[in-house]
């Protein structure tokens, strides 16, 4: 099939590369010439494990190409994926200007039947707006051409997006005419040879499904974080509680880890957008309001522990920070807890020495030439002359460090574990003063 993907961010580039990898002819469009130049020169503008190899392989095979030419992109694909950003407005609602601009461009240039697929995370009712925008542009041209609008939300985890696309556990499709449904069946046939993973529904239900999934996962995280804070007060251990409830098949193991809050490009934005959507229709989502409040508070938990240990005035203190990205296997710093922690340490007069395997360049872009923040190329180097180690992101390389060396290098043997990576008993045996989240 000939496919056009509008947008070369996480969703667009992963989708385009994976669709090309199963034999489709894919053209990716982006109005950002710098991004397209990086792609044409053999690089990728994001960090995502395994993606660079797939992009290069399919470019070399002639199945994947890139352009800034809108007319060429609309002419190319019978299926047109819209995978552009939907950043939050000041009121928390999703900004649809890029989605609707893409829809209007399709209406201006299409010359035959098109299946227009909303891949971006969009509020309920966006499909109707996309349909209206395309119809309006066709009307201006004085032409009548058939088209279908489909909702096909993505369920890709940053850091595992390629595997999620190639081996999905479900493929949600909101479509309301047989021609579009058949096109989507053909498109996704290579990804479900083992069994049928397609879940068809109406467009509005598909749009809500994406928000509901992310809101549920965010709720589980905030729930466990609140229980962790209670566990500390009660003298219980949240890790043992996690094992106790996770073994219940009705609950399961996923997203039950307590920590210092969630971040990234999806959960914070989508929770806000769903709350805003409900508000527009006269509904108050009380649970999600609490989820959002709990998460913002949780980003300050490590700071509270640091202040309790060292005092409010941290002038002259130096803290080693392991992990900057909001989660492992990505350089994404959007809504990352590390940003709050660094800012709060600065506010109290401290300096920070940071290490992250891939996110330090992005952190430099965010904090600029901040003299109080420095970077090192090895985790252990960050500990030199530091009063404590603060772990914010659970990268694999942090799982089994040399605890004896940590104790000997730090100015004081204090470790704040924002992801509960270590066993408190092992920390005590290693001579480390250990502060986890909800641990005894």
The secondary structure of residue 156, as a DSSP letter, is P
Known catalytic residue at 28? no
Q: Which residues of 258-291 are buried (b: 16+ CB within 10 A; e: fewer)?
A: bbbbbbbbbbbbbbbbbbbbbeeeeeebeebeeb
Beta carbons within 10 angstroms of residue 425's beta carbon: 10
Cα 162–272–392 angle (5° rounding)?
60
Which listed residue (18, 28, 260, 266) is catalytic?
Answer: 266
Please list, in sequence order, all residues whose beta carbon lies within 8 angstroms of the beta carbon of residue 50, skipping any fewer than 6 positions away. Answer: 162, 163
What does the alpha-carbon distance between residue 422 and residue 420 come to, in Å, rounded to a whole number?
6
Instruction: Give the whole-angstrom CA distance, residue 341 versus residue 320.
Output: 12
Q: d(Cα 137, Cα 142) in Å, to the nearest integer?
A: 9
Centroid of chain to Cα 242: 24
As a whole number of angstroms, the distance between CA 153 and CA 124 comes to 12
Report residue 329 CA to chain centroid gap. Answer: 11
- Length of the chain measured in residues: 440
Which among 87, 127, 101 is positioned nearest to 29, based on CA atoms?
Answer: 101
Of 310, 311, 299, residue with least CA distance to 336: 299
Q: Which own/partner contact pairs does 94-101 have at CB distance under 8 Å and 24+ positions apart?
A: 94/121, 94/122, 94/123, 94/269, 94/273, 94/276, 96/122, 96/123, 96/126, 96/129, 98/7, 99/126, 99/129, 99/130, 100/129, 100/130, 100/133
Residue 266 CA to residue 270 CA, distance in Å, equals 6
The C-alpha atoms of residue 323 and residue 354 are separated, in whole angstroms, by 7
CB 322 within 8 A of CB 389: yes
Tell me which H or E stretch contains 222: helix 203-234
- Would you please indicate which residues are annotated as catalytic (active-site) residues? 266
């Amino acid at each position: 099939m000939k496919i056009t993907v509008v947008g070369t961010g996480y969703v667009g580039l992963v989708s385009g590369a994976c669709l090309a990898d199963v034999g489709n002819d894919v053209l990716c469009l982006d109005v950002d010439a710098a991004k397209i130049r990086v792609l044409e020169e053999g690089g990728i503008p994001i960090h995502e494990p395994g993606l660079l190899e797939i992009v290069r392989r399919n470019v070399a095979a002639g199945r994947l190409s890139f352009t800034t030419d809108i007319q060429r992109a609309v002419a190319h694909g019978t299926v047109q994926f819209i995978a552009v950003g939907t950043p939050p407005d000041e009121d928390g609602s999703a900004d649809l200007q890029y989605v609707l601009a893409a829809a209007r461009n399709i209406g201006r240039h299409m010359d035959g039947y098109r299946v227009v697929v909303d891949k971006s995370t969009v509020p309920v009712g966006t499909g109707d707006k996309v349909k209206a925008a395309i119809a309006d542009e066709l009307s201006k041209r004085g032409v009548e051409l058939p088209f279908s609008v489909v909702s096909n939300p993505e369920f890709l985890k940053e850091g595992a997006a390629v595997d999620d696309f190639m081996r999905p556990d479900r493929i949600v499709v909101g479509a309301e005419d047989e021609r579009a449904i058949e096109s989507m069946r053909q498109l996704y046939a290579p990804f479900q040879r083992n069994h049928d993973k397609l879940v068809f529904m109406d467009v509005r239900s598909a749009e809500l499904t994406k928000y509901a999934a992310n809101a549920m996962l965010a709720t589980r995280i905030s729930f466990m974080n609140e229980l962790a804070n209670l566990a500390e007060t009660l003298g219980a251990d949240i890790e043992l509680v996690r094992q106790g409830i996770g073994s219940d098949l009705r609950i399961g193991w996923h997203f039950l880890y307590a920590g210092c809050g969630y971040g990234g490009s999806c959960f914070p934005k989508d929770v806000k957008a769903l709350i805003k959507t409900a508000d527009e229709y006269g509904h108050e989502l009380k649970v999600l309001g609490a989820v959002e409040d709990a998460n913002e508070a949780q980003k300050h938990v490590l700071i509270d522990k640091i202040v309790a240990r060292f005092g409010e005035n941290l002038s002259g203190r130096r803290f080693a920070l392991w992990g900057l990205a909001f989660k492992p296997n990505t350089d994404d710093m959007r809504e990352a807890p590390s940003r709050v922690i660094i800012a709060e340490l600065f506010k109290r007069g401290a300096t920070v020495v940071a290490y992250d395997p891939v996110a330090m360049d992005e952190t430099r872009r965010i904090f600029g030439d901040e003299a109080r923040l420095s970077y090192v190329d090895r985790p252990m180097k960050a500990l030199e002359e530091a009063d404590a180690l603060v772990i914010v992101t659970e990268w694999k390389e942090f799982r089994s460090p040399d605890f004896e060396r940590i104790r000997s290098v730090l100015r004081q043997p204090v470790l704040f574990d924002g992801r509960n990576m270590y066993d408190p008993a092992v920390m005590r045996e290693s001579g480390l003063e250990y502060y986890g989240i909800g641990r005894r």
